[in-house]
Amino acid sequence: MGNASDTSAVFASTISKEHDILMGSLYGVFCVLSLVGNCILLLVGYHKRSTLKPAEFFIINLSISDLGMTLSLFPLAIPSAFEHRWLFGEITCQLYAMCGVLFGLCSLTNLTALSLVCCLKVCFPNHGNKFSSAHARLLVVGVWCYASVFAVGPLAQWGRYSAEPYGTACCIDWKAPNYELSALSYIVCLFLFCYALPCTVIFLSYTFILLTVRGSRQAVQQHVSPPQTRTTNAHSLIVKVRG
């Protein structure tokens, strides 16, 4: 009886009923917008599937991960918010948290891979031109595998999932490192490899792109007029990224 009472308390909302209703309403709006936007993008991608450029595979994959998060999280979070407590039990809580980490990290890792591909094509065209659709597909698979390692970790006792502090959803247990060494190592690795590293790669990639475009603009300005320079640079950048 004590355990059941403790579990019930963990999954009870710690914020006001009015705020839960507000959050549930916002979740509903976000859910509809995400469904409409991502379904349209996937439909467009399906119709032009035979002509997709390598970089566009990452846009499609990003839409898939966003749609996966929408379909796996919002249907559970919305009724829980309106009921002022988590409704679906401990096992579903673990799966909910795993889906949140999986699709969230997949989106971030996918953006990181996309920034690298754009940097390769713009800054190192000799190598970037060799990047094919097959390479893009392989990298997309790598993105999912990378995210899966950290999403499945807490289910394999590396880290821990638990109820959110506000009680109506579930996520990584950020307090577990206080009493579990494995949870501490998980949080450290998560910070290093799923936050610090991707953010650094994205920042450096787009910094190199900006520097390359700036250098290209200065070189072109010596031979053409300013209006032609802007048009040429914009067209060249679009062709390199999409190629």
Q: What residue segments make up the domains of the chain, in order of their start? A: 2-242
In DSSP terms, 170 is beta-bridged to 163
pLDDT of the chain along its 243 residues, tens only?
Answer: 344 555 567 788 888 999 999 999 999 999 999 999 999 999 999 998 888 888 899 999 999 999 999 999 999 999 999 999 999 999 999 999 999 999 999 999 999 999 999 999 888 888 888 888 899 999 999 999 999 999 999 999 999 999 888 888 999 999 898 889 999 999 999 999 999 999 999 999 999 999 988 887 777 666 655 555 555 555 555 555 555
2-242 belongs to CATH 1.10.8.60: no
Q: Residues 76, 171: contact at Cβ < 8 Å?
A: no
CA atoms 74, 80, 82, 84: torsion sign: negative
| Burial bucket for residue 161 (CB in 10 Å: 0-12, 13-18, 19+) | buried
Task: Quote the pTM value.
Answer: 0.85
